[in-house]
Amino acid sequence: MKVTADFHVHSYYSRDSVITFPLLVEWCKRSGVDVVAIMDHDRFEGAVEFKRLSEDRRSAGLWAPKIIPGQEIRTTRGEICGLFLEAYVPGRLPPDETMRIIRSQGGLVYVPHPFDILKIKRLKASELVELSNLVDIIEVFNGKPRFPAANLLARRFVQKHPYTLAAGSDAHEPTKIGAVRVLLDDFDTPDELMRSLGNARIEGKMYSPFGSALLRLYYRKKYSVVTA
């Protein structure tokens, strides 16, 4: 069976996101997203909570997207994400150390928006190549890069370097969930995901960070969402 996954979504545990669990369920359903990786900035409680709530709903016979617990971790050289994490990963460590912690939990190392060159701290292409033994997945398409050509640069990079590819909306607002998505064979484990990504289709559209900030204000007001 094919599923649609968004590998980069922030819950309201990220201070710049307004996505609560009920809004996640509503908008995943509306946009046909079956699997979501929760990637909060330097926090892991949201991923744990959303996974539990999703499992509760599903065991009650209600629909909810499947949740992959993840985290977007600030390292000394920019952000690195982990997928299928078991526990919080501490921040501000060198990237290789962060990657080893992710791997030691049985997780997958996912490099988000690798060529968003307007971010001051980030891994350079040469560093990414040096670390390739520790990298599982490159995010080749991000919904909201600060630098508009970042996704093109990422595409060009992976043409020369054989990484496994995935993508995510980087949604901080419910309506952006699934803006960038991956169509792939259903999976449960990290190994199955790596296999499925070998034969996946990435699609979607970029959206503006400015529009996204306005939308966030609207949601904060309408649903009184405060950071958890």
Footprint on this chain of Zn ion (rule: CB under 5 A): 72, 170
Residue 103's Cβ-side half-sphere holds a number of Cα atoms within 13 Å equal to 12
Specify the residue, 42 or 96, whose C-beta has the smaller distance to Zn ion: 42
- Cβ atoms within 10 Å of 131's Cβ, excluding its own: 17
Shortest Cβ 145–Zn ion spacing (Å) = 11
Shortest Cβ 160–Zn ion spacing (Å) = 25
Q: Are 49 and 79 in contact (CB under 8 A)?
A: no
Shortest Cβ 142–Zn ion spacing (Å) = 8
Specify the residue, 34 or 72, whose C-beta has the smaller distance to Zn ion: 72
Specify the residue, 8 or 66, whose C-beta has the smaller distance to Zn ion: 8
Give Cβ neighbours of residue 35 (< 8 Å, ≥ 6 apart): 3, 4, 5, 6, 65, 66, 67, 68
Specify the residue, 42 or 185, whose C-beta has the smaller distance to Zn ion: 42
Shortest Cβ 224–Zn ion spacing (Å) = 23
How many angstroms separate the CA atoms of 154 and 107, rounded? 23
Cβ-closest residue to Zn ion? Answer: 170
Report DSSP state, residue 92: S
Element (H, E) at 182: strand 180-185
Shortest Cβ 72–Zn ion spacing (Å) = 5
Shortest Cβ 150–Zn ion spacing (Å) = 13
Specify the residue, 94 or 209, whose C-beta has the smaller distance to Zn ion: 209
Q: Assign residue 92 a region (left: φ > 0; alpha: ψ between -120 and 50; beta: otherwise).
A: left
Specify the residue, 195 or 206, whose C-beta has the smaller distance to Zn ion: 206
Q: Assign residue 170 a region (left: φ > 0; alpha: ψ between -120 and 50; beta: otherwise).
A: left
How many angstroms separate the CA atoms of 121 and 92, rounded? 11
